[in-house]
Structure 1
């Protein structure tokens, strides 16, 4: 006798799984887009209100529950108005997402190599002459909140440009260069300063800014010390101090070529499937 007659491999089950995966992917990408921006503060506020709403329902606090309902209903409209720039940038980001450009691996790989070579040449030049520099590279987390504080450039990445920006007593040398989508997005940007007590006392504002941005985003930041010429890289709250040329090149290649390699695998797989289908 059959107890369960339900087919777990039915079309309905498959569509439910796809539905859950699509929603999960959309929420994940949304969080990655707004992480490190002002919009994340809104989400924290909404989450806090939801907790109060849940507690008021459990404790039968009808007035508090009603107030939270009103706040939530107006918060949706207010968020669209207040965060219109972030919404626009998010849609633009989706429009140029690599998912729709599987054939662009060679271009992405070349861009990563150009970025690494340009940074290497600039760092070597500035390190030998003890020219202070602060270069932040956007990874997955959006840096729009900090890009807005800088002077827009939207320029191709070259070592000459990076060197000229950080020449002392020039208008753009004080602050950070932010690199986004293989472009020098802005110069003279302000980054959050870390309050960590683990930062050595001899390190100045540039180093604290590099650690600060690594604590709130997943950005990769390179610092050239004005006092010693030493090179430091920060990411995810970690400091890598006094790096040799071999050390930082190895790290940059591992971090910046990682995404290109993933895209390359996907592009090659798609190309092979297409060629196989044509045979």
Structure 2
């Protein structure tokens, strides 16, 4: 084997090494998301930052304290989180840790779909105007910051209550990110499309506008007609039935999660044979 081939293999091995480490870190973050371990990680990060700053400024006492905190802190973490670590290792040994994670995400997505269906059905019958945008891969932080931060659990009751006329949050968009309502009364960019019907109002223009700059899925309930519309990838689908809306939501939000869960289930089953 030539020296060039050895160098290429070494280069590829480094890439694989980095990808594996990032994958493990990502899965760990997804696993502890929403648990008390997140606050612990924030504390560790702050200690590391203080250590770096104290080392740079030659603050010897502060640096010694942070060194002690890091040295004994990991032992304390093992003791404090011993039950959680044991369960995680047991799950890893049984090979179902990714399946359980997929099941949790799948449950959250089903709850999101059910909440949107129930709330839009209620508001459409009573002609309550609504604008709900669901963030996907493209970040929507700039638009979330224009509204009132909520960081609330998703429910049909809360969505309905937000859009009740003459309430402080009804004017604007609700933005859903992950498994929470991130903000209400947010401003979305208006579409400049000349093909948009003149009879459509600001909500529809905002829904189409956000779909032109992000991959979000946006639902509109018309205040004038009670009709339900959906926008995605710069396209507007008007007068969508409740059945069609459920099909779209399940396809866009649930199917991909179920596919990943099925993959890990088959992978696990293959090792049992």
Pick the TM interval, shorter chain.
0.5 to 0.7
1:48 aligns with: none
Residue 171 of structure 2 corresponds to residue 183 of structure 1: no
TM-score normalised by L of structure 1:
0.64
The verdict on how the C-alpha distance between 1:16 and 1:103 changes in structure 2, with shifts beyond 3 A counting, is farther
SS of the residue aligned with 2:151? Answer: strand
Structure 2 counterpart SS, 1:103: helix
Deviation at 1:263, TM superposition (A): 3.0
- 2:134 counterpart of 1:133: no
CA–CA separation in structure 2 for the residues paired with 1:14 and 1:261 = 36
Q: Which residue of 2 aligns with 1:13?
A: 8
Counterpart for residue 170 of structure 1: 167
Q: Give the TM-score taking structure 2 as reference length.
A: 0.66
Partner of 1:51: none
Matches for 1:62-73 after TM superposition, within 5 Å: none
Residue 230 of structure 2: aligned partner: 233
Distance 1:21 1:210, change over 3 A: farther
| 1:210 equivalent among 176, 185, 207 | 207
Partner of 1:197, secondary structure, is: coil
Bigger mean CA deviation after superposition, 165-174 or 14-23:
14-23
Long gaps (5+) in structure 2: 23-96
Aligned to 2:256: 259
| Counterpart residue number, 2:31 | none
Return the alpha-carbon distance in structure 1 between the equivalents of residues 126 and 236 of structure 2: 23
Alignment gaps of 5+ in structure 1: 27-99
Partner SS, residue 154 of structure 1:
strand
Partner deviation per Cα, 1:166-210 (whole Å, 9 max, x = no partner) = 000000000000000110111000100111111110000000000
Q: Distance in 2 between matches of 1:13 and 1:265?
A: 35
SS at match of 1:104: helix
Change in CA separation of 1:236 and 1:23 when aligned onto 2, cut-off 3 Å: farther
